Amino acid sequence: MTSISSAAERYIHTNVLSRQHVKAAGNEKQKVSLFIISMVLLLMMSFFFFLWGRICILETGYRLSGAHKRQEMLLQENRKLKIERTSLSVPSRIENIARNKLGMVQPGNNRTIILKW
């Protein structure tokens, strides 16, 4: 019995117990579950960030398409207005409107006054 007590005495006096680290049984499981939850959240955040980027790209594409259609429509309207302006400014048409609709006549020589400066 002395050998057991002396061995226990040596074990206690060597401070082996103070250098030992006791791990809690659930501590490792908590770390693993926390890691898994963190990875799942990171994966979900990455997915939503990717989805948000795709939505922004699609929205910008739709706006560009609408702006392009509007530009084409305005260019076509501009062409039509230029043609109309050209047809309205023809001198024979202006003279015809002046004579028929407004009742104007070509002035005679006695109705023309020339001013000299």
Residue 11 CB contacts under 8 Å (≥ 6 apart), including other chains: 17
Residue 9: pLDDT band by 50, 70, 90 thresholds? Answer: low
Q: Which two tokens stand for residue 56?
A: 């922004």
Cα Dmax for the chain: 156
Per-residue pLDDT tens digits for 24-70: 556 888 899 999 999 999 999 999 999 999 999 999 999 999 999 99
First-to-last CA distance in the chain? 146
Q: For the chain, what is the mean pLDDT?
A: 85
Confidence of residue 10 (pLDDT cuts 50, 70, 90): low
Q: CA angle 101-104-105, nearest 5°?
A: 135
Task: Give yes or no for residue 12 having a pLDDT over 60.
Answer: no
